Amino acid sequence: MRLVFLLLFLTGVSLHAQPVYQSSQPAESPGTWQTIPWEAKWLTHPTALARQYGVYHFRKTISLPQKPGRFIVHVSADNRYRLYVNGRYVAMGPARGDTQHWHYETLDLAPFLQAGNNTLAAQVWHLAESAPLAQMSYQLGFVVQGDSPAEAAVNTNASWKVMQNAAYAPVKVDGAKLRTYIVVGDGERVDAGQYPWGWEQPTFDDSRWPAAKPYGFPAKPRGMGTDGNWALLPRTIPAMESQPIRLNAVRRATGVTVPDGFVQGKSELTVPANTRAVLLFDQKTLTNAYPELTVSAGKGASLTLTYAEGLFDANRQKGNRNEVEGKQIAGIEDVFITDGGARRLFRPLWFRTYRYLQLTIDTKDEPLTINNLQGDFTGYPFEQKGRFASSDSSLARVWEVGWRTARLCAGETYYDCPYYEQLQYVGDTRIQALISLYVAGDDRLMRNAILDYDQSRIADGLTQSRYPCADPQVIPTFSLFWVCMVHDYWMHRRDDAFVSERLAGIEAVMTWHENRLDRQTSLNGPLMWWNFVDWSWPWNESERLGGVPDGAKFGGSSVLTLQQAYTYLRAADLFAHYGRNERAEHYRELARRLNKAVMDRCWVPAKGLLADTPAKTKFSQHANIFAVLTNAIPAGQQRDVLKKVLASAPTDSLRPATYYFKFYLFQALKKNGLGDEFIPQLQPWHTMIANGLTTFAENPEPTRSDCHAWSASPVYEFLSTVCGINPAEPGFRSVKIEPYLGTLASAEGTLPHPSGDISVRFEKTPTGTLRGNVTLPPGLRGTLRWQGRSLNLVPGKQEVSL
């Protein structure tokens, strides 16, 4: 496949302004450069160590007889690059992967070119031990391949020049100081006095730069050649969104008075000589952005930018996120040292996540002028096509905050959280992917994630729990949810070729789990790795594990056994669909056997609940939720069990599901016709909003992450449960609409289906009648169900009454 970005530049683009991207869908043909070795070679620096921290600039000038109408090139780098043509910013990449699935961007440079001389310039960085954990790598490298003989002049070889930028040094993230796990990479220290300002401009003098050093053999597509450095594949996701955003307010300032209009970009701020000034800015909502700080004069001044989701009090608690009094900031930092030049711009190589941004300024013998401070928002370019509204206005805020959470947790991969990890974990991703389908109608990042996990597989057969990731981690329960994620995709998209290619990986995951069943009890036997279920099980420092239910290490966990059964049922659907009936029936039989074993050994009639292990001393919502979802508990008893789960106080006597696992509680409620209970279950989300959060947190307070993907599940449920829109058969070939309005008098929503929008509007009458209208896109039929009655639906708009 070839992914071509048509790059349309804006007039008056400044040095770091972003272009307007318009990406096409991947073509059916794999393209020439996926079938033959590249003519271009990977480039490095002739003397710098290629596996140590470094920021580099590559340049080449070519001459063209006339402005071309088309000029296609393929570009990649390790770790990353920013490409400029004639001083204009063009693109950033490559999209993250691993060395055996290393992506390149296909770009049309024609809009940036002219007759005569043209300068291509790239900033390339290799951060070594300072890189984010999500960044996999081989060594420093940069490659450009022209698509045809007409573009061959840009091919990377010794005709390119390179210099190492000595201005950059890492600012270590102090995990001990922050008292948490944080792996998003180090901050940056940039010394403007050593920066080669204007390096990307055609007029820059690069005569003293050395020739770049070609590395090894020519670059090659995946599956070709003898060595195994970077196996190149085309990018399959669009370029990231870019939008300027401004800070909202100054919450406190010492050492200087901030003039009116500064945060809006309408005035400048001057800091006197030999002054320390500390400014705390509030974005008002959490964001992912490249901060852009522009300064003039003030030679030798030091400016430190500190980024945080929220401030901390003396007890290291965040409390209400809107409050700053008596609180301090702690977080990732960048440092910029000025050289006295005019309008020097600091912008980090990678984006930062922040609601609060503190700027600490220490001037020397010259006053410093801060010309501007703003952000450049970045994220996967999801477009909000789905919508939801109801008679309860407070739910609009839950939708807004939930969608912001999902957006900030999506870039070139899905993120569990943008501030602390930026890692694509299966448990989070399954929920995120459904939100993507329901709100944006965009399946590309979901496909990308499914492939990432499939390509992460270890020799045991399991997928890794998070990927791409330089530090391997295996969570067997997440391998099971990866299988469920493939099933989700199959139910929502017609893509048999893609799904069928996942069957071998699914079988490997299911076999690993089957081989670890206890032959006598049919419960799970002793399990290795990290069998995470939910953070409701606390961290165990001696074992360096948390979130693991009883019976995982030595066997006998009803929770883990039932999750296997839950997954076997979905795997059976997939194998049956693709004609693997014997394997499908094997999985169904396994599910039945596991269900029976759990009920025989863990059911406690006196409580009417399922225990976590055969010891029958501990109970959790999780075991009972899975027992409902798998039908281990007979259908006639499931509603009673769920009502007990909902009625029980959240104590250790019945371990509660946290925000993450409530997604599965919501599925169990909907399965049993108890979807009306969903709206009352949203109180924790209302509480987060009341506590000043502008995204939804990882866990109940005290929480580490203020923005965690798995907590955005209500956004999906508003359309799937309240509006009741769900696929009735694989590929979303038909729709089942079964709304649960609960306490709402009315609700309406729109879901982007591959064939067009599905829209519903419902209201309840005092007598319990459901009235409204349903609109289905062309070619889509379905069924509306309400309190035991049903109505056939046809394409187009139709009034309904049940």
**What whole-number distance in Å separates Cα of residue 210 and Cα of residue 633?**
72
The per-residue pLDDT for 650 is 57
Q: What is the pLDDT of residues 687-721, one digit of tens each?
A: 999 999 999 999 999 999 999 999 999 999 999 99
- Best CA proximity match to 455, nearest among 96, 89, 82: 96
Tokens of 44: 């490095």
- Amino acid identity, position 426: V
Q: For 483-511, b where at least 16 C-beta lie within 10 A, e where not — what string?
A: bbbbbbbbbbbeeeebbeebbebbbbbbe
Max distance between CA atoms of the chain, in angstroms, equals: 88
CB atoms within 10 A of CB 367: 16
3-state secondary structure of 161: strand
The model's pLDDT over 484-505, given as tens digits with 9 standing for 90+, comes to 999 999 999 999 999 999 999 9
Q: What stretch of H or E contains 285?
A: strand 276-297
* pLDDT of 303 over the 70 cut: yes
| CATH code given to domain 4-168+192-239 | 2.60.120.260
Res 166 pLDDT > 70: yes
Extract the runs of DSSP E, i.e. beta strands, from 178-268: 187-191, 213-218, 220-221, 231-234, 241-245, 249-254
User: Structure tokens of 485?
Assistant: 């994620």
What is the reported pLDDT for 648? 72
* Predicted local confidence at residue 768, as pLDDT: 87
Hey, what are 572's tokens?
Answer: 């059976």
Q: What is the mean pLDDT of residues 628-655?
A: 89
CA angle 556, 561, 563 (to 5 degrees): 145
Query: With bands split at pLDDT 50, 70 and 90, how would you rate the model's confidence at 225?
Result: confident
Q: What is the mean pLDDT of residues 265-274?
A: 97
Pairing of strands 102-108, 4-8: parallel
pLDDT in tens, 374-414: 999 999 999 999 999 999 999 999 999 999 999 999 999 99
pLDDT classification of 224: cutoffs 50, 70, 90: confident
* Rounded-to-integer distance, Cα 306 and Cα 143, Å: 34
pLDDT digits (tens, 9 = 90+) for 596-608: 999 999 999 999 9
CA distance 65 to 344: 35
Token pair 């940039």 is found at: 190
Percentage of the residues of the chain whose pLDDT score is greater than 90: 91
The per-residue pLDDT of the chain, averaged, comes to: 94
Segments of the chain assigned to CATH 2.60.120.260: 4-168+192-239, 242-379
Residues contacting residue 268 through CB under 8 Å, at least 6 positions apart: 259, 262, 369, 370, 371, 372
pLDDT at residue 27 tops 60: no
pLDDT at 652: 57
Tell me how far apart the alpha carbons of residues 83 and 125 are, in angstroms, rounded to a whole number: 12
Helix or strand holding residue 476 (H, E): helix 476-492
pLDDT band at 12, cuts 50/70/90? Answer: very low
Find, among 158, 3, 165, 170, the residue nearest to 93 by Cα. 3
The model's confidence at residue 647, banded by pLDDT at 50, 70 and 90, is confident
E strand segments, 65-140? 72-78, 80-85, 88-93, 102-108, 116-126
- Tens of pLDDT along 329-377? 999 999 999 999 999 999 999 999 999 999 999 999 999 999 999 999 9
Cis peptide upstream of residue 79 (ω within 30 degrees of 0)? yes
- Listed residue (504, 508, 513, 511) closest to 531, CA to CA: 513
Give me the count of residues in the chain.
802
The predicted pLDDT at position 6 comes to: 38
pLDDT in tens, 80-131: 999 999 999 999 999 999 999 999 999 999 999 999 999 999 999 999 999 9
Identify residue 143 by its one-letter amino acid code: V
In angstroms, the CA 344 to CA 342 distance is 6
Spatial contact of 560 and 533, defined as CB atoms under 8 Å apart:
yes
The single-letter DSSP state of residue 712 is: G
Extended beta strands in 338-384, E state: 344-346, 352-362, 368-379
Could you tell me if 324 and 252 are in contact, meaning their C-beta atoms sit under 8 angstroms apart? Answer: yes
pLDDT band at 179 (very low <50, low <70, confident <90, very high): confident
Categorize the per-residue pLDDT at 11 as very low, low, confident or very high, splitting at 50, 70 and 90. Answer: very low
**Alpha carbons 294 and 306: distance in angstroms, whole number:** 16
The tokens for 747 are: 């609700």
Distances (CA, A) of 723 to 142, 222, 372: 50, 45, 45
In whole angstroms, give the CA distance from residue 54 to residue 137: 14
3-state helix, strand, coil in the chain (%, to 5): 25, 30, 45
Q: What is the mean pLDDT of residues 531-548?
A: 91
pLDDT band at 649 (very low <50, low <70, confident <90, very high): low
The strand pair at 72-78 and 789-793 is best described as unpaired
Residue (of 432, 349, 410) closest to 132 by Cα position = 349
Residue 88 forms beta bridges with which residues?
85
User: Token digits for 61?
Assistant: 């000038």
Going by C-alpha positions, the residue among 709, 417, 657 that lies closest to residue 534 is: 657
Task: Compute and round to an integer the Cα radius of gyration of the chain.
Answer: 28
pLDDT in tens, 453-477: 999 999 999 999 999 999 999 999 9
Report pLDDT digits (tens) over 745-800: 999 999 999 999 999 999 999 888 999 999 999 999 999 999 999 999 999 999 99
In CATH terms, the superfamily for domain 242-379 is Galactose-binding domain-like (2.60.120.260)
Task: Please report the pLDDT score of residue 176 as a whole number.
Answer: 74
